[in-house]
A and B are shown apart, each in its own frame.
Chain A
Amino acid sequence: MSTATADIHHDPVESNVNYLNASYGIKSWLFTVDHKRIGLMYLAVITFMFTIGGVAATLMRLNLVEPQGALVEPETYNKLFSTHGIIMVFFFLVPSIPATLGNFLIPLMIGARDVAFPKLNLLSWYLFVTGCGFAIFAILSGGVDTGWTFYPPYSSLYSHTPVVIMALGIFIAGFSSILTGLNFVVTIHKMRAPGMTWFRLPLFIWALYATSLIFILGTPVIAITLFLLGLERIFHVGIFDPAIGGDPLLFQHLFWFYSHPAVYIMILPSMGVVSELITAFSRKKIFGYSFIAFSSLAIAVISFIVWGHHMFVTGQSVYAGLVFSVLSFIVAIPSAIKVFNWTATLYKGSISYQAPMLYALGFIGLFTIGGLTGLFLASLATDVHLNGTYFVVAHFHYIMVGGALMGYLGGIHFWWPKITGRMYPDMWARIAAAIVFIGFNLTFFPQFVVGYLGMPRRYAVYPAEFQVLNVMSSAGASVLAVGYAIPLVYLAWSMRYGPPAGRNPWGAKGLEWTTLSPPPTENFDVPPLVTEDAYNYAHAGATHV
């Protein structure tokens, strides 16, 4: 992207007025409408929620060291896995990249001053915090034991846990994500800089656009579903009650109509990050730009017609199962297209292995494993055997943790210098990335095996012959925890002591790298004008521009 007279070589970070030091005091943050500050406020809250979800996971894995349960009673274990799922899905993964990196980067990447509706953006943050508040209140009131899936009639008629409070927290957080998605769609449609046509947009924007479509189309359905569940619990009568002809499976249809696309909400932004990282660290144009862009849209669309694969064994008709099974195979295709294109991008690239690239490469491998194992589950006959076992748990953790979370960490590291104006110590980051990779595989690969052998999920106890694999998994979890803790330390350290980063420490292409680090409040000191395609790196072999 050529801009007017931007001087990329010597901008002293300390002397410019940027979005961080433009105003001081808690009120300047709590009443901000600057998308960059809002992104950081989201980062703080979701990091906190991640630790809560992580504590629940820690207690679960500690319990599973012994076949008879080493730590907690089954009733408590039910609350632990429910809390872990609810917090990690609704209060960490769904908002993670969109609310933090998306909020921060979208206006910068498209050359705008802010998002379309900045005050609505702030409202989104407050709604999210309120939702978190209700969820934490529900946990402190004992926690729910229904699983993150809230299936009736247990959740509506029999559970004696604070289901309504937790559902209310999710409802409010969902409303927050609807407003964020709406904001992003309008911003991307209406506020691109001159010359920024749709097909010059970074693929991160395409990914977030597709994600925002899912936010808008899917989230209202989980909202009404939880609303109806809440009415049934409060009034002791409702539309899922078998006594008046209600069908518990209808709840599952409505629940999964959102919750399946939700998993694509969780992975699409991460795929967008990976497109940015692969190109920057192989210094090469992306292979198949329009294929990746359209695949993002295809994933968003097809994700809405596969939800029944969660219901193959819960009572759905075989004929519906057949339809959903075929469609579930089809949804794998656009994801595979992306993996092929990223790999082709690497070929003959000038590759460097800083921490963001390590996370991106890890993503490609682990996401592929997770995605392929999804096909085992999409196939009706094998799903009968594998559903409800640890095979499913391993499958989605490979995608959510090995995929989404690693993309998130890669993105945080990549854009850290832009966000803070300072560079983090890359050696520590690479060590942490390696520890995460090793710890992750040690935790979750044994779960494929133990699930295939028949160990059920959501159980506090298990047959003794599975102990070795469970101990391996728990040991891996402790390594993984170390890997997550290390970045907290050096990233915090770098905010104060890291070297100033300059506009473009990675030499990457993208409008965000043309402005100062940290950016001024209105983003660009010189209004951007876009004249070239995305990822317009010099050909392989040339030194960096």
Chain B
Amino acid sequence: MSEHPEQGGHGHVVPVGVYIAVFLALMCLTALTTGVAYIDLGQWNTVAALTIAVAKMLLVVLFFMHVKYAHGLTKIVIIAGFFWLGIMITLSLSDELTRGWEINPAGWTGLIPFLHHLF
């Protein structure tokens, strides 16, 4: 049924060393994100925190959850889940953040002078 040797009844066995290394990396990243919060980076604090969180997630997903050694189908399923979450967030924000935008009073006729202004 399967040509993937690592998907046999045994599955791919990850060496203990890899698990320990991932664990240490996760602990370091936790310390890092906590530490960076005490440094003033302005709005980049949020970017740093989220980047570190995504890195930690990838370590857990790829190594602890064995996705690095898994079928392509598994990877598609995971990406689809996050992509759909992204749709929900993006389109909701497209409404919530644009409520205050002024509707151009000139309507479509204002488009020509606007383009003129651009070029």
Is there direct touching of A and B in the complex, by C-beta distance under 8 Å?
yes
Contact yes or no, B88 A250, CB < 8 A? no
Nearest CB in chain B: distance from A176 CB, A: 20
| B80 within 8 A of partner (CB) | yes
Contact yes or no, A304 B94, CB < 8 A? no
Contact yes or no, B73 A257, CB < 8 A? no
Chain B residues near A324: list those with CB within 8 A: 91
Contact among A221, A318, A320 with B88 in the assembled complex (CB-CB below 8 Å): A221
Contact yes or no, B95 A308, CB < 8 A? yes
In the complex, residue of chain A having the shortest beta-carbon distance to the beta carbon of B97: A317
Contact yes or no, A217 B84, CB < 8 A? yes
Contact yes or no, A317 B91, CB < 8 A? no
| A247 within 8 A of partner (CB) | yes
Chain A residues near B40: list those with CB within 8 A: none
Provide the bound-state CA to CA distance between A272 and B81, in Å: 25
| A233 within 8 A of partner (CB) | no
Chain B residues near A307: list those with CB within 8 A: 91
In the complex, residue of chain A having the shortest beta-carbon distance to the beta carbon of B81: A217
Nearest CB in chain A: distance from B104 CB, A: 10
Contact yes or no, A316 B84, CB < 8 A? no
Provide the bound-state CA to CA distance between A257 and B86, in Å: 12
| B87 within 8 A of partner (CB) | yes
| B92 within 8 A of partner (CB) | yes
Contact yes or no, B94 A323, CB < 8 A? yes
- B-facing residues in A237-271 (Cβ within 8 Å): 247, 249-250, 253-254, 257
In the complex, residue of chain B having the shortest beta-carbon distance to the beta carbon of A218: B84
Contact yes or no, B101 A253, CB < 8 A? no
Contact yes or no, B84 A304, CB < 8 A? yes
| A189 within 8 A of partner (CB) | yes
Nearest CB in chain B: distance from A242 CB, A: 14
Contact among B73, B84, B98 with A319 in the assembled complex (CB-CB below 8 Å): B98
Contact yes or no, B98 A317, CB < 8 A? yes
| B13 within 8 A of partner (CB) | no
- A-facing residues in B70-119 (Cβ within 8 Å): 73, 80-81, 84, 87-88, 91-92, 94-96, 98-99, 101, 103
Contact yes or no, A319 B87, CB < 8 A? no
Chain A residues near B80: list those with CB within 8 A: 217
Contact yes or no, A250 B91, CB < 8 A? no
Contact among A189, A250, A323 with B96 in the assembled complex (CB-CB below 8 Å): A250
Contact among A189, A250, A311, A320 with B98 in the assembled complex (CB-CB below 8 Å): A320
Nearest CB in chain A: distance from B111 CB, A: 14
Contact yes or no, B95 A320, CB < 8 A? yes
| A305 within 8 A of partner (CB) | yes
Provide the bound-state CA to CA distance between A483 and B88, in Å: 41
Contact yes or no, A305 B101, CB < 8 A? no
User: A250 and B92 in contact (CB under 8 A), knowing A305-B87, A319-B98?
Assistant: yes
Contact yes or no, B87 A316, CB < 8 A? no
Chain A residues near B98: list those with CB within 8 A: 317-320
Contact yes or no, B99 A257, CB < 8 A? no
Nearest CB in chain B: distance from A189 CB, A: 7
Contact yes or no, A257 B88, CB < 8 A? yes
Contact yes or no, B84 A249, CB < 8 A? no
- B-facing residues in A302-355 (Cβ within 8 Å): 304-305, 307-308, 311, 315-320, 323-324
Chain B residues near A189: list those with CB within 8 A: 73
Contact yes or no, B99 A304, CB < 8 A? no
User: Residue-by-residue, is A278-314 near B (CB-CB < 8 Å gives 1, otherwise 0)?
Assistant: 0000000000000000000000000011011001000
Contact yes or no, B87 A317, CB < 8 A? no
Provide the bound-state CA to CA distance between A254 and B91, in Å: 11
Nearest CB in chain A: distance from B15 CB, A: 29
Contact yes or no, A316 B95, CB < 8 A? yes
In the complex, residue of chain B having the shortest beta-carbon distance to the beta carbon of A213: B80
Contact yes or no, A320 B94, CB < 8 A? yes
Chain B residues near A253: list those with CB within 8 A: 88, 91-92, 95
In the complex, residue of chain B having the shortest beta-carbon distance to the beta carbon of A319: B98
Provide the bound-state CA to CA distance between A86 and B96, in Å: 28
Chain A residues near B88: list those with CB within 8 A: 221, 253-254, 257
Chain A residues near B91: list those with CB within 8 A: 253, 305, 307-308, 320, 323-324
Nearest CB in chain B: distance from A46 CB, A: 28
* Supplied contacts A305-B91, A320-B95, 14 more A-B pairs, CB within 8 Å: A217-B80, A217-B84, A221-B88, A247-B96, A250-B96, A304-B84, A305-B87, A307-B91, A311-B95, A315-B99, A317-B94, A317-B98, A318-B103, A320-B98
Pick 15 A–B contacts, CB within 8 A, sort by A.
Answer: A221-B88, A250-B92, A250-B96, A253-B92, A254-B88, A305-B87, A315-B99, A317-B96, A317-B101, A318-B103, A319-B101, A320-B95, A320-B98, A323-B91, A323-B94
> Interface of B with A (CB < 8 Å)?
73, 80-81, 84, 87-88, 91-92, 94-96, 98-99, 101, 103
7 nearest interchain CB pairs?
A: A320-B95, A317-B98, A319-B98, A253-B92, A317-B99, A320-B94, A217-B84
